[in-house]
Amino acid sequence: MQNAVKVQQEAEQAKVIELTERDGTRKYLNQQKGEVADQHLRPLKAYVLAKVVKNEQDEEVVENIVVDGACIRTPEEDIVWVEKQKELEAEAAKGAKGKAPPKKK
């Protein structure tokens, strides 16, 4: 239930999707709508997708968006992936020599 409440609160909260550099520097894409991307973003540079939300003090907080790969899997592949993760967790709990499941951030 607590997750459902958190999801509902996040859905109601206004957010902005933003790109940041790895050091946390925001690119302020909303201000650059008229520009060509290569004039604002540097070539051969890695950027992190983030969302900007407001905290209790009405200050903007940048939170990196973490994706577990679900956006690149079909629903059928996602079902197999979830089952495989459960198997890996069970093996790791038993102390098996199998590959440990990836740690969630």
Residues 82-99 have pLDDT tens digits of: 899 999 999 888 875 555
Question: What per-residue confidence (pLDDT) applies to 2?
Answer: 65
d(Cα 35, Cα 47) in Å, to the nearest integer? 18
**Residues forming beta bridges with residue 49, ordered by sequence position:** 19
pLDDT of 3 higher than 70 = no
Question: What per-residue confidence (pLDDT) applies to 83?
Answer: 92
Question: Where are the strands (E) in the chain, listed by range?
Answer: 16-21, 47-54, 60-64
Which of 72, 102, 69, 67 lies closest to 88 in space, CA to CA?
Answer: 102
The identity of residue 27, as a single letter, is K
Question: What per-residue confidence (pLDDT) applies to 105?
Answer: 52
- pLDDT by residue (tens digit) across 25-36? 877 777 766 667
